[in-house]
Each structure stands twice: as structure tokens, then as C-alpha cells.
Amino acid sequence: MKFRKVGIANRGEVAVRIIRACQELGLQTVLFHSTPDVNTRAYRMADVTEEIGGGPSQESYLSIDANIQAAIRSGVDAVHPGFGFLSENPEFARACEKNGITFIGPSSDAIRLFGDKISAKELVERLQAPLIPGYKGEDQTLERLTREAEGIGYPVMVKAAAGGGGRGLKIIREASQAKEMIESAQREGLSAFGSSKVFLEKYIEAAKHIEVQIFGDAAGKVHSLFERECSVQRRHQKIIEESLSPSLTEALREKISKTAVMIAEAAQYKGAGTVEFLLEGDRFYFMEMNTRLQVEHPVTEMVLGVDLVKAQILTAMDEPLLWWEDLRPRGHAIECRLYAEDPYMNGVPSTGLLGFCSFPEGPFRRFEVGFEEGDEITSFYDSMIAKIIVWDESRTRAIQKMEQTLKDTVVFGVKTNIPLLLKILSHEEFIRGTMTTRFFETHFSKGLKTIELTPAEKEAALSWGRALSEEHKTSSSNVSAAPNPWTYDWSSR
Amino acid sequence: MMKWLTVDWHSEKVKVPVQKIKGKLWFHVDGETHSLEIPSGRKKDSQGGGHKNGEITAPMPGKILKVFASAGQKVTQGQPLIAMEAMKMEYTLEADIDGTLKELNVQVGDQVALGQHLAKVEEA
């Protein structure tokens, strides 16, 4: 079935990414947006816009009803959910299906299967794929849970069954903490996800986060698009991702890819999905499967030369893809997530009006940007404002290119984590490629030390500011001012 | 408005983008972006938010927690007028001049936008 109009149930840079893909395929776009998001790039780019509610996500981007109403009102054939928000909500996928709107993603059954961490693990166990030792039984009494934790051996992770994003997740380091941690995870699970069900898992101290991009095409075949490494994480949130991983041998790469494909095939998976693993030495364990496009999908696109968003849309239209015959990775790609935050205040979000922004183009530099000068970064949403992706012939060169790209990037009006990203990229453990998911916590949890400008530097900068005001005056009143000794403006010459 | 200026920086001539936004000076030099508070009182510059004029505006988007004064009341410089919460942090907004609280446009519980006009003190 060919689409004519596609709804976008998301915001920011991913909405821009989806609009571009639709436009290239000749499809009309309808952006479902919250009230404050009229000041975003996606709003300006979409062919049609439908307001779905107020700033808080619950009133807009998380409201199934508001999104379905907008989809019906605007007469879209399909909805792309992006990532986050409703992208992994089986009720939303089902509501689309019921209203005759194609949900661009897997079936609601597949979302439900992998969304419940326990049913996902049962599937993986049946397939005899490697799982971290743990307990996921129905007996949720404190006695049973603590006994199981003892059996697994500390440290043990207790995790809300319906959890995600690090919420409802605790690490029990010794027996004396068990009761308190289990109860706390149950409480958090209940308040955040409506279910107090938890499972236990051996906590692996120093592992790498490796994930395999898989894709189920319209004909029902599941393909592996190789792996990404996302070990640089802060509080379970990824900051820097790359493809391929510097840690896999060819043999291991093949093995982990095959495992990922097998898991997706067992669920008759259609569309883009990601199977996440923990890698410790040369052993890997299944963690979870994400049934959506990932934030970090561009690094896979860069090393393979594919367009995953277009592939999602084409597959949803039952069209075949062209790129399966020759999927061979070339070179290395790295992505840095640009967060509006103060790196010198331990990452406190920074909100405000965006001033001048410059994302310096260059060969194999890619910028996924959701906001422009004059837009406001509000406190309603995630603070990620852009992604910077580079490709180069080797990992070393890709790191060098990323460093230069970040140094050339200018964002005024809100603070960004660029200084932190630069510190990570130049850390010897990152350069060696041996970082684990503990890397950030070990080296950067204290935050960066403020780099104070010297009094002379400050004085110089303030004089530039005064020069800006002077110029304002001289151009509007006709008073000739003496040439400023500090500055002259080359752009007016 | 952003301007590119050619300036002396550590005895080198460099081109630097410079922009004033809400009382702060932003510039990018040596691969780093900086922002500096522009000292107030030096100039009557209507661009800067740092000068004292009795206008109380929201420094961040957030929620009004408390209102300490009522319209018509005499207030002194430094007197707390409004407490607001933004991103889980609490801020107190004070009168910046002595005078009379002429306008009070918010009440407890209101959601306010960045830069929104909240109150005005008229000089005594």
C-alpha cells in the first residue's frame, strides 16, 4: 500500500530526520506537536502541523488519544513514532492498527513481547541464546527474592519488570542491602510503571554495551546491520556511540549478529530493531531488544551507506529494499549527543533562547539538528538538542575528526556538553577502545572543573561587548566615534 | 545580533563570533564557547537584562511557588517578591529598586515562560 501522507508523533531532531526521509520519498508530512514546540525546526519544515496539547509530555507526546485524534483529523495513512515517547507503546501501535493507520514499526504483539523484559528473556532462553544468570519467577515475595539473590551471588541487580531508562533499577552489593533495595525497586516500579514486579540478575561490573541493528524486511527476512558500541553512558544514558565496535573479533561479530537475527526471527520481526548485549571479555549476554529506531542509528547508516528511516517507511509500505546484497561496513563512524546542559555544574540542564548556532559542514560530518537561532530550549523535554556524527577511514581518524568538529561547533544562548565530550574523546581509555559502561562513572562523575577566564581575558571580552553596543549607537545616531583599539568588524568591510 | 569580530587574543589576531543575549556576552574562541555576565550600571543599554528598572521577569521557565508581596505594597531593594521553581531548583526573585509594587501578574501555581513579565516595581 502506497502512503500519501505520514504523521510524525515526535519532536526535535528525530522529527526533522523523519520529515526529510518522507520528503525524499515524495510523501506529505504532518507534525503532531505540543503548544510550545511551534518554535522548533520540525514545525517549520512539516507540510502540515497539528497541535496535540500542552508542553508537559503527558498532555501531548505521551497521549495516545491526542495523537490518534490528530492522525484521524489530518487523514494520514501512517504514523512514524520516532524514538522515546509512544514509540514502544503497544497500546499506541494497536490504536493505530484499529483506526486503519499504519504504525511505522513492528506489530503491537512484537512490541509487547519485547517490552515486557520477562517475556523477552523467556523467548531468548527458549532459543538457548546466552542470558545473564538471574531470577524472573512469579513468586515475588521478599523471602524468595532474597534467597534467589543469594543463589545468584552478589552483586545482583534488581530491576522493575516494566522498567526502562534506569528507573526502578538498583544494585545490591551485599546481603545486608538486599531487603531495602528490593523494596525500593518495587516501589519505584509501581509508581513509575504501574507494576511492582521485579526480576533479579547478576550484575556484571565491567562490561561493554554492544548492540546489533537488525531489520526485518517486507518479505519477512531478518538482516543484521552489524553492531554499535555504546559503552560511554551516564546513569544508563548513552552519550557517545560508534560503529563498528573496536572490541569484537570477526568471529565474535558473526556470532553476536547471528544471535540477534535469531531472536528477531523468532518473533517474526518487521522493521528496524536493536538487540542489546553486554560483552565481558569474549562472552556476551542478551540484555533487551528495542523495537524502534535508535537515537544512534546514524553511525550504522554511515558505515554501511544505508538510510534506515526510509527503509522503515518503505517496509511499512510493503516495498522491497535494495541494499541487502552488499552490506559491508567501511571505515568508522562516531556519534556525540549534544545536550543543553552545564558541563561545569555536573550536567544541570540549561534552558533558554538559542542564539547564534554554527554547525560547520565538512566531508563526512553530519549534523542532526532540531533547533535553530530564536528557538527556545524548554524544561519540558529531554535536553538533547542535536547529534553530531562523523565518518572517517579509521577509528583514530574518526576521533580526530569529531574533536575538530566539536571545536568548530558554536551554540550560543544555552550551555552544551561539548567540553565534556572533548574530554571523553581524549581520554586514553576511550582512545584505546577499552572503555566499559563504568567508564563515565569512574572518570567523569565528579564533573568538569570550571575553566575560569583570566581577568585580562574577561576584560578583553567585555570590551568586545562594548564595541558591539558602540556600533549600535554610531550606526543609528550619526556621531563618529573614535576607532576602537580592540576591535574592528571585518564583516562590514 | 551575532557579529564576527577580529580581536587580539593572546597576542594573536583571531576572528571571534560575539553575541549579547539577555545580559550575557557569548563568544567562541580557541574551540571553546564562553559566556560572561555583562556588568550592569556601566551603561544604559536596553539590551542587557542586568540593569535595574523594577521589572521582574522569569529567569527560567517554571512554576510560581510563593508570592511574598501584594500589589500596591511598598517594597525595598533586595526584598523577596516571588519564589519560583524551575527544573527542581528554587529561585527567589527580589525587588531590584526601592518603590511600590505596581503590578503583580502571577499567582501561586502559575506556569511561566522564560522572560515572562511577572511584576513591576515603580520607583519611589
Active site residue A292: yes
pLDDT value at residue A493: 33
Q: A472 falls in which pLDDT band (50, 70, 90)?
A: low
CA gap A25, A321 in Å, rounded: 13
Q: How far is CA B71 from the centre of its chain?
A: 21
**A428 has pLDDT over 90:** yes
pLDDT digits (tens, 9 = 90+) for B15-74: 999 999 988 999 999 999 999 998 875 444 433 344 578 888 887 778 898 899 988 999
- Subunit contact A416:B33, Cβ cutoff 8 A: yes
As a whole number, mean pLDDT of residues A397-420 equals 97
CATH 2.40.50.100 domain position(s) in chain B: 55-123
pLDDT value at residue A471: 64
**A277 has pLDDT over 60:** yes
**A488 has pLDDT over 80:** no
Considering A253, A292, A366, A395, which one is annotated as catalytic? A292
Interchain contact B45–A (C-beta under 8 A): yes
Q: Encode burial over A101-111: b for 16+ CB neighbours within 10 A, e otherwise.
A: bbbbbbbbebb
Could you tell me if A158 and A172 are in contact, meaning their C-beta atoms sit under 8 angstroms apart? yes
CA gap B111, B85 in Å, rounded: 10
- Subunit contact A468:B18, Cβ cutoff 8 A: yes
Q: What percent of chain A has pLDDT over 90?
A: 77
As a whole number, mean pLDDT of residues A301-312 equals 97
> Which of A55, A83, A288 is CA-nearest to residue A166?
A288
Strands B55-57 and A208-216, how do they pair? unpaired
Strand spans (E) along A363-430: 365-369, 376-377, 384-392, 410-411
Taking CB atoms and an 8 Å cutoff, what residues of chain B touch A411? Answer: 33
CB-nearest partner of A453 from B16, B34, B60: B34
Q: Domain A208-444 carries which CATH code? A: 3.30.470.20
- Subunit contact B8:A408, Cβ cutoff 8 A: no
Q: What percent of chain B has pLDDT over 70?
A: 87
**A163 has pLDDT over 80:** no
As a whole number, mean pLDDT of residues A275-302 equals 95
Strands B3-9 and B80-86, how do they pair? unpaired
- Subunit contact A451:B114, Cβ cutoff 8 A: no
pLDDT, chain B, mean: 84
As a whole number, mean pLDDT of residues B110-124 equals 86
Q: Record the cell numbers describing residue B29, joined without a space.
A: 574562541
Q: Which residue has the higher pLDDT, A479 or A360?
A: A360
- Subunit contact A351:B39, Cβ cutoff 8 A: no
As a whole number, mean pLDDT of residues A427-451 equals 93
CA gap B14, B68 in Å, rounded: 49
pLDDT, chain A, mean: 91
Chain A residue nearest residue B59, CA to CA: A352
pLDDT value at residue A25: 97
Q: A484 falls in which pLDDT band (50, 70, 90)?
A: very low
Strands B99-104 and B24-29, how do they pair? unpaired
Among the CATH numbers 1.20.1530.20, 3.40.190.10, 3.40.50.280, 2.40.50.100, which is that of B55-123? 2.40.50.100
Q: Which residue has the higher pLDDT, A134 or A4?
A: A4
Q: How far is B78 from chain A (nearest CA, A)?
A: 25
Strands B55-57 and B117-123, how do they pair? antiparallel
Fold held by A133-202: Dna Ligase; domain 1 (3.30.1490)
Q: Which residue has the higher pLDDT, A194 or A224?
A: A224
pLDDT digits (tens, 9 = 90+) for A452-462: 899 989 999 99
pLDDT value at residue B1: 83
Q: A164 falls in which pLDDT band (50, 70, 90)?
A: low
- Subunit contact A464:B22, Cβ cutoff 8 A: no
Burial class (CB in 10 A: 0-12, 13-18, 19+), B27: buried
Interchain contact B54–A (C-beta under 8 A): no
Chain B residue nearest residue A412, CA to CA: B26
Q: What percent of chain A has pLDDT over 70?
A: 94
Residue A353 amino acid letter:
L
Please report, for residues A308, A465, A486, B3, the alpha-carbon distance to residue A462 in angstroms, rounded to integers and kept in the order given. Answer: 47, 5, 10, 14
pLDDT digits (tens, 9 = 90+) for A41-78: 999 999 999 999 999 999 999 999 999 999 999 999 99
Taking CB atoms and an 8 Å cutoff, what residues of chain B touch A349? Answer: 87
CA gap A12, A167 in Å, rounded: 23
Burial class (CB in 10 A: 0-12, 13-18, 19+), A331: middle
Interchain contact B46–A (C-beta under 8 A): no
Interface of A with B (CB under 8 A): 55, 348-349, 351-353, 355-356, 358, 376, 378-379, 406-408, 410-413, 415-416, 418-419, 422, 451, 453, 457-458, 460-462, 464-469, 471, 486-491
**A356 has pLDDT over 80:** yes
pLDDT value at residue B50: 44
Among the CATH numbers 2.60.220.30, 3.40.50.300, 3.40.50.20, 2.20.25.90, which is that of A5-104? 3.40.50.20
